[in-house]
Structure 1
């Protein structure tokens, strides 16, 4: 692998083996790290390990979050969940589906936007909580007491402001490409997403692993 010629404290070959074993433990014996997905996993490992040298080579900005995109069933959520095992405690992403957030908004209203943005700090500290919003783009506009809102768009816009002011990190998984995201959320949010995220995309040939 390319990391062999890079000064790094980590053995990525062993990390991939350990990741595959953890995947089997959690998701079953069918879980496997496929060759076509290794470049994506390498970038994720470098990011979540905060390995500056490998991240630099892979074009990953460690001060941004991750926008992980790929076809349905390619393993996006599973990989983010596995990356939680190697991440420092304060930076472990809390994974929540965008659909779940919409359900919460329908029940509790605009407090949900604050919960995942301006109130998204650990108690008694200025340390922001890291969230991974899963399946961005599959949710719908939600109405609460007559007010209709694109909840995830408002949360991301608020977290962008907090990214600028408090270095709040956000991760996202999605089945959609950048043009499709812009069609749903508009150019205003897309331009902020460029600032907030490293784009990591699975190859289009990646297979559906749930089959």
Structure 2
């Protein structure tokens, strides 16, 4: 089912361009499936800051994006391709949550600072897409267990309210699973700071 988009952007052309970009990044097997168009349209509207279309989709441009869907549906590669669509002032980096957890084992609590307030020598915190939320584990640093991503997300919420800095997330967890893993405080903060864009549970694994 395709929603008719009234926009001054040509979404079909943009999808072709994104597919080309994806092939550059991932090789010839990269393809944007027509069944994913409803998701892709929302992401394009958001990252191009197409206000009229976002309004149709009930997407708040001040908030970040939480892209959720089953394993292998292409969330990470999509966000990496969308990076190339984003105007300079809204550029973001994609950071796997597992990598953050390994950094935490290595460097401890300053990692939470690094992904929330920014590095000590950086004046401005950055927009980050935390990739594959839920694949990292609760980790011990000198015997203290820490839910690293919960701490980072709570700090990112403070950044969002104080400085309007956005956070994006990809995950295969449902909202209730996010609550189980990270607590209801994180879930309610995410509701305030993020637009949920979700794949259908039945979508096929594309790997």
Fold-level similarity (TM above 0.5): yes
Residue in 2 that maps onto 1:94: 93
Residue 129 of structure 2 is aligned to residue 132 of structure 1: yes
Residue in 2 that maps onto 1:202: 199
Residue in 1 that maps onto 2:76: 77
Residue in 1 that maps onto 2:46: 47
The normalised TM-score by structure 1 is 0.92
Aligned partners of 1:132 and 1:173 also within 8 Å: yes
| Aligned pairs, number | 206
Quote how far apart the aligned CAs of 1:183 are: 1.0
Quote how far apart the aligned CAs of 1:207 are: 1.3
- Partners in 2 of 1:54 and 1:98 — Cα distance? 31
Residue in 2 that maps onto 1:170: 167
- Partners in 2 of 1:105 and 1:14 — Cα distance? 42
Change (3 A) 1:121 1:68: farther
Quote how far apart the aligned CAs of 1:2 are: 3.9
What secondary structure does 2:133 align onto? coil
Report the more deviating stretch, 137-146 or 66-75.
137-146
- Partners in 2 of 1:206 and 1:179 — Cα distance? 20
Q: C-alpha deviations, 1:127-184, integer Å up to 9, x for none?
A: 5410000110111111112221100000000110110011010000001111111111
- Partners in 2 of 1:185 and 1:156 — Cα distance? 9
- Partners in 2 of 1:71 and 1:34 — Cα distance? 16
Aligned partners of 1:36 and 1:203 also within 8 Å: no
- Partners in 1 of 2:152 and 2:171 — Cα distance? 16
- Partners in 2 of 1:182 and 1:203 — Cα distance? 20
- Partners in 2 of 1:94 and 1:30 — Cα distance? 24
Quote how far apart the aligned CAs of 1:11 are: 0.6
- Partners in 2 of 1:123 and 1:12 — Cα distance? 36
- Partners in 2 of 1:9 and 1:129 — Cα distance? 29
Residue in 2 that maps onto 1:180: 177
